[in-house]
Amino acid sequence: MEILDIYDKNGNKLHKTHIRGIPLNINEYCIAVDVWIKNSKDQILLTQRHPLKAYPMKWECTSGCIVAGEDSITGALREVKEEIGITLSKNEGVKIQRITRDNQNMIFDIFLFKKDIEIKETKLQDGEVIDIKWVDKEELDQMFKRDEMVEPISYIQELIAKRVI
């Protein structure tokens, strides 16, 4: 059971907590992180979702909700460690965007980390991630066209076009 802090639409903590999975009230939000990792070859690290999760077998960046008491950067570092077994440091990344999805009562903080990681060094979390790979931006675009990617992260294409990533 994950306990999450509740925020208003502007990301201000409301000093209430919430059990993940229970619907939130109107004007209550939780914060999640999307963590994009780019290497020195300008490739992007993707993970493949477990077949029993929402968006089964689709590819995505590392992501997850921040838990009660965490800030976004701490949550981002924890999610990467949990899901792929890699330790990142705060100075390797930067928050590049915040997206609010009212229909999900979620605020997403988007991070970009720059780090060279050997796939063989990763350890995939059971029940969450079944595969991992580096792709270049052209392959990422093709994966979206083939419907292999989690749709809500399609914002990455705009960030690439704007050369943010």
CATH code of the domain containing 46: 3.90.79.10
Residue in 154, 159, 157 with CA at minimum distance from that of residue 55: 154
pLDDT greater than 90 at residue 6: yes
The total of structural domains in the chain comes to 1
Residues 6+ apart with CB under 8 A from 80: 35, 37, 62, 86, 87, 88, 113
At 88-135, the pLDDT tens digits run 999 999 999 999 999 999 999 999 999 999 999 999 999 999 999 999
Question: Is the pTM for the entire model greater than 0.85?
Answer: yes
At 23-80, the pLDDT tens digits run 999 999 999 999 999 999 999 999 999 999 999 999 999 999 999 999 999 999 999 9
Distance of alpha carbon 101 from alpha carbon 10, whole angstroms: 12
What residues make up the domain containing 28? 3-161
Q: What tokens were used for 15?
A: 């000093």
Please tell me the predicted confidence (pLDDT) of residue 1.
86
